[in-house]
Amino acid sequence: MKGLFSALLVPFDEKGNIKEQGLRDIVRQNIEVQQVDGLYVNGSSGENFMLSTEQKKTIFQIVSEENAGKVKLIAQVGSINLDEAVELGKYATSLGYDSLSAVTPFYYKFSFEEIKHYYETIIAETNNNMIIYAIPALTGVSMDVAQFDELFQNEKIIGVKYTDGNFFMLERLRKRYPNKLIYSGFDEMLIYGVISGVDGAIGSTYNINGKRAKQIMALCHEGKVDEAYEVQHVTNDLIEKVLDLGLYQTLKEVLNQKGFDAGTCKKPMSGFDSSKIEEVKKLVADFNL
């Protein structure tokens, strides 16, 4: 379960329907072109929190079929509707997903005991492994080391997707839990995560920039940190331009320009601004995407 995982993009048509062939193509290009080690399915990058339960199930099924055991699969099933999270967890487990993941429950100010119960319920109902999805900037949920201690007592909680800029906390968790999986969740900070000893990374830009990300990881592991920084600088130049143009919209448009049917984003998210097509074409050429 170590390595680089793309937070999988999902293509939609203008009415918000899943474009099945486009999704299959994106899965294949992640595996064959970006050479990722796994796929993180139905996370933020898949616009998950705007989808119906049935759409989420459809995505899990299509990805499982197209992957056909080639790389590891993590199913993000988190929801503030615990019944839905359990239903999705059971379904993904039946499809053979290697682990579940769940975002910390958000919007309402849940107590830690409520958050712990949420994870323990999903695990008990599915009997699958769990990777905590910690992204405090979007959920408002920040956990301290003592709370991670409580969660990690459950042997089925095998790790955390750590999307946080608190590298002191990351260092503390790495030292305290050498046998738990820690995934870096910020693509623009990948090098710092690898230097801190993460087991892998999960991110949206790996759908188009996975090869560079794997290069950063390999160089760090070889002790060639200066060279890794040079690749991170290029990567962050790319990320900066993608963010300027609109994150998910631009990632999809890059894939569209490369001949994959990545569709558009699901409303209320806006689609790509067609007046910026030439900027995307230049992006593809300049960064050899």
Binding residues for aceneuramate: 44-45, 163, 185, 187-188, 204
> 268: cis peptide before it, omega within 30°?
yes
Report how far residue 27's alpha carbon sits from residue 231's, in angstroms, rounded to the nearest whole number. 25
Q: Beta-carbon neighbour count of residue 199 at 10 Å?
A: 17
134 neighbors 102 (Cβ within 8 angstroms): no
* Catalytic member of 40, 97, 133, 248: 133
Q: How far apart are CA 99 and CA 76, in angstroms?
A: 9
Residue pointed to by tokens 């919007």: 107
Q: Which of 40, 91, 118, 161 is the catalytic position?
A: 161
> Is 177 designated active site?
no
CB–CB of 101/107 below 8 Å? no
Helix and strand tally (H, E) in the chain?
Answer: 12, 8
List Cβ neighbours of 238 (8 Å cut-off, separation of 6 or more): 205, 209, 283, 287
Is 162 noted as a catalytic residue in this protein? Answer: no
Q: Which residues are annotated as a binding site?
A: 44-45, 163, 185, 187-188, 204
Asked if 88 and 75 touch (Cβ cutoff 8 Å), the reply is yes
Torsion of CA 260, 266, 267, 273, to 10 degrees: -20
Distance of alpha carbon 80 from the chain centroid: 19
| Token output for 174 | 């790495």
User: Which amino acids are annotated catalytic?
Assistant: 133, 161
